[in-house]
Amino acid sequence: MTEPRPDSRPTLEAVAAHAGVSRATASRVVNGGDGVRTHLADRVRTAIRELGYIPNHAARTLVTRRTGAVAVIIPEPEIRIFSDPFFSRQVRGIAKELTAHDTQLVLLLVEDRGDYDRIERYLAGGHVDGALAFSLHADDPLPAIIRRIGMSTVFGGRPGWTIGPAEHDGVTYVDADNRGGAREAVRHLLAQGRRRIAHIAGPLDQTSAADRLSGYRDALAAGRPELFAEGDFTPAGGARAMAELLDRDPGIDAVFAGNDLMATGALRVLRESGRTVPGDVALVGFDDAEAVAESADPPLTTVRQDIEGMGRLMARLLMDTLNVGPDERTAPRPVITATELVRRASA
Amino acid sequence: MTEPRPDSRPTLEAVAAHAGVSRATASRVVNGGDGVRTHLADRVRTAIRELGYIPNHAARTLVTRRTGAVAVIIPEPEIRIFSDPFFSRQVRGIAKELTAHDTQLVLLLVEDRGDYDRIERYLAGGHVDGALAFSLHADDPLPAIIRRIGMSTVFGGRPGWTIGPAEHDGVTYVDADNRGGAREAVRHLLAQGRRRIAHIAGPLDQTSAADRLSGYRDALAAGRPELFAEGDFTPAGGARAMAELLDRDPGIDAVFAGNDLMATGALRVLRESGRTVPGDVALVGFDDAEAVAESADPPLTTVRQDIEGMGRLMARLLMDTLNVGPDERTAPRPVITATELVRRASA
DNA sequence: TTGTAAGCGTTATCAG
DNA sequence: CTGATAACGCTTACAA
């Protein structure tokens, strides 16, 4: 019923023998075939096909010191992380780009502090050629690890220890223009004649939240009072913050939420308080999270960021680094991607 | 500023020399140290620590033919897949379990049909020891590939080509008790005196959708008319199906939706039609998707499945298979996990 | 252009 | 219990 020894696959040696050439020549053909007479190359290719040869990855890695794999490190200090569509979509973008470069994606989830030992061992163990890491808090141990073992890395989101988009210190990262996007959102509210614009910020130890708060302040600069509460990027947190804000100032006529999830929470509280949206209070979110912004009631006006595109970009940047050798790499630098205000019914 | 040659890490050879033993002995210590005099073992361990030795994975794999990695294959024929919290949570469970077994997770996303070539090459290339695969349609090429190259695999969700939980054909899979859960949901509606209970099914070529429909029918057996429309597991699809159902029978007084996302779509349409929930129409979802069921308005009564637990289970089952050798493995079998009705405000 | 041969870092076999 | 030594499958100088 089953084949005799399906276990051991043909080696390069077998291919060479089958084609009547040396293993070296066979190897050359497998790796592009430059400088091999087409006659022989064809014979080798035929042998490969007939034997169903597939290169042994471990053997290749052993000598080339290249694994053809990249680690994607995702922390989930809070529960929310992986169920947040944000990561899913970014990972999707990354996966697509890596696939295009014939590179594998090794997923490393970080649950708690102790996991970093494991991560370091893994990274140092040479299992991967580079790493992609996300949303680092200012005190995250990962940057130190990465620096220590000298691993090429691209970060997603401005790391907490950098000052801002302009001043960075030697890291490459991809981030949306959170500040600019927030500015645009608030200006949109101002343009509608809203006077008391509140902001529900995300956790301010995350730079995306801090940058959006900065944008909010930028737009309000013209002598307007600022009024904000800190949420946690969840609907419940948004609801809590909204209640607090309403308590502090019942006259609020607009809210800019740091993300769509918090906006839905705010929406619920606004409705429960008897206010209409956008009639009494206009509401703008951030992310344009699918299955959230669009299906909210009313659908959310929000600031869209191209999350999948950011993921792709991260991967591309990393591949670029990997493909030039440590010598003449382009200097590490942040890449800021544009945001876009999507107007729906809520503001 | 930087170390001279941070590039080349110490080898086992170096450790052996440092400890004054043979490479073979050093290797034994690295792999548990059975049958090595404690005296020597300690010396080796010290050397390992002092040199910062980390085993070279490729070299090890080359000889042991074990990679210490597992592939997680996720198809996304429709757009929704990865932004669906379902996969995220299942992956999370898998990741946790694999980590506990010191095994790496290689993520393989399948975009389109052509990707299967790449997947097959990858699997056959011996990059991983086993695979975890999801939600296969009846005509999915993956099972054939997996059988052809004889790779240990555990499926998530009942594969489309199996008949049901009882009759399976040689595959191990983990699935929630979709049918039982659906039955419970509908019985709950019946117990409330609802008479016209409609069902919004997911795409019926997915077994989870088909099984939930079966459960719906089971519960209705007592001579009740069945009334269902097929959605696509998205809010928009749920809305579409709801509109269609209302059109066909305006007297519907309850709806069992195949998942929470479709339930939110249905909710919107019900509200827009002037109906109250649960006053005029009771609504039950499926999944208990966080940030969806709970934050819906009203919060959704739904059937919870322990998604993360299912992920962990899948990984554990695979590891079990991997650790016993092809000889005496326990026969492939489905594992069905329990569901639980979570009562909230919508029904 | 092609072949020979020397590794790459481990584990595993087999004497001692 | 320990140590040579032979694989593992491939790439890459170096020679021819």
Q: What tens digit of pLDDT does each residue of A38-49 get?
A: 999 999 999 999
Choose one of A19, A49, A64: the last residue of a domain. Answer: A64
Rounded to whole angstroms, how far apart are CA atoms A237 and A230? 8
Asked if A203 and A278 sit in the same domain, the reply is yes
In Å, the largest CA–CA distance within chain B is 86
Asked if B50 and B73 sit in the same domain, the reply is no
Cβ of B9 within 8 Å of Cβ of A88? The answer is no
Please calculate the CA angle A104-A99-A329 and round it to the nearest 5 degrees.
Answer: 80
- pLDDT on residue A165: 58
Indicate the DSSP class of residue B83. G
Asked if A80 and A172 sit in the same domain, the reply is yes
Q: Does B215 touch chain A (CB under 8 A)?
A: no
- Nucleotide whose C1' lies closest to the alpha carbon of residue B28: C11
pLDDT-based confidence at A308, cuts 50/70/90? very high
Asked if B250 and B151 sit in the same domain, the reply is no
User: What are the CA-CA distances from residue B38 to residues A25, A145, B18 (Å)?
Assistant: 49, 32, 17
CATH code for the domain in which residue B92 is found: 3.40.50.2300
Cβ-contact B284, B257 below 8 angstroms? yes
Compute the nearest-CA separation of A11 from chain B (Å).
Answer: 11
Cβ-contact B106, A68 below 8 angstroms? no
Burial (CB < 10 A; 0-12, 13-18, 19+), residue A233, is buried
In a domain, B57, yes or no: yes
Least confident span in B31-35, B156-160, B322-326: B322-326
In a domain, A347, yes or no: no
Asked if A183 and A301 sit in the same domain, the reply is yes
Cβ of B104 within 8 Å of Cβ of A125? The answer is no
The two three-digit tokens of residue A232, written as one number: 């946690």
Cβ-contact A293, A302 below 8 angstroms? yes
Indicate the residue of B59, B69, B291 with minimum beta-carbon distance to A83. Answer: B291
Tell me the residue length of chain A. 347
The two three-digit tokens of residue A88, written as one number: 């899913």
Rounded to whole angstroms, how far apart are CA atoms B264 and A291? 10
Residue of B329 and A215 predicted with greater confidence: A215
Compute the nearest-CA separation of A317 from chain B (Å).
Answer: 20
- pLDDT on residue A283: 98
Expressed as residue numbers, the domain containing A10 is 6-64
In a domain, B347, yes or no: no
Check residue A32 and give left, alpha or beta (phi > 0: left; psi -120 to 50: alpha). left
Q: What tens digit of pLDDT does each residue of A162-202 get?
A: 666 555 567 899 999 999 999 999 999 999 999 999 999 99
For residues A151-170, average pLDDT = 76
In a domain, A342, yes or no: no
DSSP string of A57-93?
A: HHHHHHHH---SEEEEEEE-SSTTGGGSHHHHHHHHH
Cβ of B83 within 8 Å of Cβ of A264? The answer is no
Least confident span in A124-133, A277-286, B138-147: B138-147
Q: Does A61 touch chain B (CB under 8 A)?
A: yes
Asked if A289 and A199 sit in the same domain, the reply is yes
Asked if B123 and B264 sit in the same domain, the reply is no
Report whether pLDDT(A116) > 60: yes
CATH code for the domain in which residue A22 is found: 1.10.260.40
Asked if B196 and B287 sit in the same domain, the reply is yes
Asked if B185 and B296 sit in the same domain, the reply is yes
The two three-digit tokens of residue A187, written as one number: 């200006």
In a domain, A211, yes or no: yes
Report whether pLDDT(B81) > 70: no
Asked if B163 and B186 sit in the same domain, the reply is no
